[in-house]
Structure 1
Amino acid sequence: MRRPLLVLLLVLSALVAGCASVPGESSVQVLRKVTEGGTPDLPAGPVDGTNPLDLVRGFVYASGSTVDRHGAARRFLTPAAGEGWDDAASLTVLAEQFDTVYPPTSGTDPDLMTVRIRGDRVGTLDSLGAFEPAEAPVEIDVTVRRADGQWRIDRLPGGVLVRLSDFRANYRTVKGYFVDPVRRATVADLRYLPAVPAQALPSRAVDMLLTGPSPALRNAAESMVPASARLRTNVTNAPDGTLVVDLTQVGDLDEQRRRLMAAQFVQTLAEINIPRVRLLVDGAPLLAGVQDLTVDAVAGTSATVQPGADVPALAVSGGRLRRLPSGEPVAGQAGNGAFDIAAAATTADGVRVAAVARDGGRRRLLVGPADGELQAVSLSAGSMSRPTWTPTGGEVWTVLDGDVVARVTVDGTGVVRTGQVSVSELTELGPLTDLRLSRDGLRVAAVVGGGLFTGAVVRGPEGDVAVRNVRTLRPTDLGGVVGVDWRADESLIVVSTRADRPVSLVSSDGLTLQLVPSSNLTPPLRGVSAASSRPFLVADQGGIWSFDGGELDSWRQVLGAAPDGIPLYPG
């Protein structure tokens, strides 16, 4: 019996040696299962006797740790490779499952082999800590050498490959704050910084501010920190625990710019739990008479406008705008049946409404007081998307016939003017069916050809407006998208026709994707709305449903018998 057993073992060994592919966890997670702060157990180094395929796999696992210039990963390299490896050249985030295989080769040296890393790229991280979504297959070859009976990586390209789970465990999400040049208010810019050593986080955050906005906000946001600014001394902690940031070469700054610059530093450093900042210029306080700054000291500088707790959620159903959860029509022409309302949006304060009305086989846009008479805008189309307001309530956008974005400005007296937004970067990708302005007004989320896209709102000196820096988010996981809304400045909620993931949360840069439980819902879904600290609202085949992430993890119907219902929060 020994001979058959020996043959079986040899066959199994050959299969393992030919391809080391161990299924990992999915990159899509269930909302209620997500936890933060966990650190995976990374190997201290290769185990003696490790074969080349497992050696390279262990190297990728260990590359998630940034400590000591990826010191854990360097243990898998020969001394020469360790000296030459440029780990700072790039960072590629991989999906969980990847293979290590032997490619076809004509090499004859038994102590020198090539191993190919084969997987799927989720995206890359740039030197500013900004994630760039870019799904694509990845194949990278490394050379391994056997010396003293042990295999080690002897030659490899520059840069680091990190699994998504290891990236999330070893990098900290930090919002850097920059400035909307039109409104002169701060906006968040999503970044990722190595979590350890923790004492290096303040310096890294300051460096991030000195280098400016990420490519996603290029030409849309700016920094009040002059390009010439430098640190006069290292970032340090005062004896009382206050973080001291002393700058130089800032030039002449007016009071507004100084205040916005202070807000950038204070709000960004608050992201890493620094409550007080002593912001100096050549040793003197940036803000005259204010030595230590807190978030309260720069209150009122944020561009984000959330609807007040007293502003109700609404829904369009049966041709009328209705309150939730009562279903009662609102006062005024939006709710009294004067028009056949198909979609609507109110300003963040709930005072003004924009409504899409059905008029035969056409659609037209109406604007006016939420509880009063509506004024027809000189816009008509075969299809018109649900409107979306800027944070100040002075401008509303809607998509006409899937390829034109109309921009309607409304002044304080109610006078309206129409214009267009340049969205060629979106429409060249397919029909545009849903468009939502973020609550800071500097970004859009869009549904184009059933895919999810984001872009930045760039306003020119002559009043022209365009959507630029367009990015596609998770095209593999988010097909069949029918609606999107901003949960917060850094995250989106998405509904799709996919039965396996009808509702998802995705970060605004596409790095993370989480499934929202869909219990009680009847797909396909038609619409979605969200606001900070408010339950999610979606529309299915029977009505409007609400989900607040409670212990039951199920949706609760808030408006029934509404097969055409579309929910909306103000904004």
Structure 2
Amino acid sequence: MNPADHDRTRDRADAIRAVGDARRVSDVVFGTTRRRARYTGLVCAMVLGLTLSACGAMPRSGPVHKVIEPTEQTQQSAMPFNPQGPRVGATAQEIVEGFLAAGVGAQDDYSVARQYLTPQLAATWKPDTRVLIHSGEPTTVPRLNDGEFRTSMEVSGELSASGVLAKQPSGSTRVLDFVLTSVDGQWRISRAPDGVVVPQADFEKIFSPTNLYFYSAQDSKYLVPDPRWFATRSTTSTAAVRALMRGPAAYLGNAVTSAIPQGTALSRSAVPVSGGTAAVDLTLASFDPAEVNQARRMEQQLRATLRTIPNVDDVELRINDAPVDTSGGSDNDPIQAVTVPNRQIGVSDNKLAFYQGGQTELIPDLTLPEGVTLSKPGMGVEAGAFGFVDSAGSTVYTVSPGQQPRQRWSGYKPTRPSFDNLGWVWGADRSGTVRVVRASSEGQGDTVSASWLDDQHVASLRISREGSRALVVTTDAAATRSTVWIAGVVRDASGRPTELAKGNAVATDVDVDTAQWIGPDEFVSSALDQDTNSQPRRYTIAGKVDELPALTGVTSLAGGNGSAAVYGASDGRLYMLTGSSWALQSEEVTDTAFAG
């Protein structure tokens, strides 16, 4: 009997129950109180309640999968989940639900998920197109035509085909449509969107971040991290190199560049790792072996990238089937991590002061405008130019020893001035306008193109220490929920900033007013000016987060070189993060900031 006839009565009953489930999920997703739920019932049984018998059946038909060259990592890359394949006699809806649950099984190119598809679709379906990270229980309901189903879900993040993770605001939803047909008397999916879905609680068990590295576009002096997420399996090194060849993430725009030319390809299907060395064989039609510096820069970029993968310590590069000798290159090694001086700038008795190691010293020979209320000070790396906000007049000034202060711009709640490594001072305000000015020049400077921030409330803007990225915090109209972004800094040939590329969301729906770099791939954040405990956090640029000890009434947050140099101000006192607590450092200075 055709399964469409055999299961029609049961499917109708399932549809009635599913519609009821959909209404309940709609209440959860769109109601005033959102509850986070995980898979239960069928999904949990498929993913976590496996028995030995679940692995016993071998499919008699299906797509032929490409064999990946084995590497040293193969034995260490076992996936945490082994989902169950389709059971005999499963209903059409159970096949859809089982297929979605199988998205946690990335091993063997998602071979279990492909068992739910017709042979034709299994051969063409592309699981790596995207990963939807769902925060609520997906709901599948039948459509009007037999064999057609729709799944709706709330998502907290979306992973692109290139491994770029974009966090999604609360209440974001996605809809997936499926068509099923009979194959040898069993329901199978004949039409499905590319990509897989993964529960939020399981995402970091299946995928792990890897930093790709590109050169700063201005002078190629720095290596800039571009985080990607790949399934934790033996092919991570191959995925990283392929992504590197495709170029930087869109949100880095023209802020970075690559030494690997467009059109470069892998000479073989994989990047094997043996004895800690990754063998990268490239095909590059226009390569000249005499161009040692180009090969050296390619090797530097590959080495920095692949060393972020466990068990990879070095890279052996071959181009057009020949080993590459880069020992004669004249280029200097690029800088991968820029540090800042340990000295901070702060406010002491309404004057600008240096702070370091428990000692406070007023900055000599500074002339300040009369009647200002100093707040949010900043300084350049050389400590020869300073900036601050007059909170009484919402005006930003810059000042240098022996010179008159310069009024730069005004706005509603302007951000702390941020000094980049090329001598530009940055700022923004609650209108979303981004401004820059040369610290050494006159005038009010220029507006930087950032249309994606139009009408956004910018609470914080900090330029990274190599000058290629901006860390931006925007808040909602009520200033209660925030999004943290990373955006590429685009400059002209002279180094003048011209644009902030559209940012990528690293954190959404968080209680944050400030974010401060503590390294090339880490930052700290906190809410400010709250009477109760604030919850500072440490993030990686890939979006991984750790909660730091709470501090009551944080008024400012400063980040130096790593998590051992994090300072918070509260109630006119300065504290330093020390292990699991905050240690009092000074009652003479507050509102501090490191250079940058």
- Equivalent residue number for residue 495 of structure 1: 526
Indicate which of 461, 467, 472 corresponds to 1:441.
467
- Equivalent residue number for residue 424 of structure 1: 450
1:157 maps onto 2:197 in alignment: no
1:115-194 correspondence to structure 2 within 5 Å:
115-135=149-169, 136-143=172-179, 153=189, 155-185=191-221, 186-194=223-231
CA 1:215–1:513 in structure 2 vs 1: closer, same or farther (change >3 Å)? same
TM-score by length of structure 2 reads 0.73
Task: Work out the CA distance in 2 between the residues paired with 1:475 and 1:86.
Answer: 28
1:489-568 correspondence to structure 2 within 5 Å:
489-496=520-527, 502-508=535-541, 512=543, 514=545, 516-519=547-550, 521-523=551-553, 525-533=554-562, 534-541=564-571, 543-548=573-578, 550=579, 553-560=580-587, 565-568=590-593
Q: How far apart are 1:298 and its partner, in Å?
A: 8.8
1:264 maps onto 2:301 in alignment: yes
1:67-86 correspondence to structure 2 within 5 Å:
67-77=107-117, 79=119, 81-83=121-123, 85-86=125-126
Task: Work out the CA distance in 1 between the residues paired with 2:96 and 2:406.
Answer: 63
Cα deviation, 1:401-425, whole Å, max 9, x if unaligned, reads: 8555443335xxx677863241332
The amino acid across from 1:212 in the alignment is G
The amino acid across from 2:437 in the alignment is V
- Structure 2's unaligned 5+ residue stretches are 1-12, 26-35, 40-76, 477-481
1:98 maps onto 2:129 in alignment: no
Task: Work out the CA distance in 2 between the residues paired with 1:428 and 1:405.
Answer: 10
1:180 touches 1:303 (CA, 8 Å); kept in 2? no
The amino acid across from 2:592 in the alignment is P
State the identity %.
Answer: 21
- Equivalent residue number for residue 425 of structure 2: 396
Q: How far apart are 1:57 and its partner, in Å?
A: 4.0
1:435 touches 1:447 (CA, 8 Å); kept in 2? yes
1:213 touches 1:221 (CA, 8 Å); kept in 2? yes
1:46 touches 1:76 (CA, 8 Å); kept in 2? yes
Aligned length: 517
Indicate which of 361, 372, 375 corresponds to 1:342.
375
Task: Work out the CA distance in 1 between the residues paired with 2:374 and 2:292.
Answer: 47
CA 1:171–1:501 in structure 2 vs 1: closer, same or farther (change >3 Å)? farther
- Equivalent residue number for residue 261 of structure 2: 226
CA 1:318–1:257 in structure 2 vs 1: closer, same or farther (change >3 Å)? farther
1:316 maps onto 2:360 in alignment: no
Task: Work out the CA distance in 2 between the residues paired with 1:238 and 1:303.
Answer: 23
Task: Work out the CA distance in 2 between the residues paired with 1:46 and 1:61.
Answer: 11
Task: Work out the CA distance in 2 between the residues paired with 1:232 and 1:40.
Answer: 31
2:429 touches 2:457 (CA, 8 Å); kept in 1? no
The amino acid across from 2:436 in the alignment is R
Q: How far apart are 1:344 and its partner, in Å?
A: 1.8
2:338 touches 2:520 (CA, 8 Å); kept in 1? no
Between 1:262-271 and 1:468-477, the stretch displaced more is 468-477
Task: Work out the CA distance in 2 between the residues paired with 1:121 and 1:298.
Answer: 46
1:324-363 correspondence to structure 2 within 5 Å:
326=358, 328-333=360-365, 341-348=374-381, 351-356=383-388, 358=390, 361=393, 363=395
Task: Work out the CA distance in 1 between the residues paired with 2:404 and 2:293.
Answer: 38
TM-score by length of structure 1 reads 0.76
CA 1:24–1:538 in structure 2 vs 1: closer, same or farther (change >3 Å)? farther
Cα deviation, 1:319-349, whole Å, max 9, x if unaligned, reads: 233415636234424699998532222334x
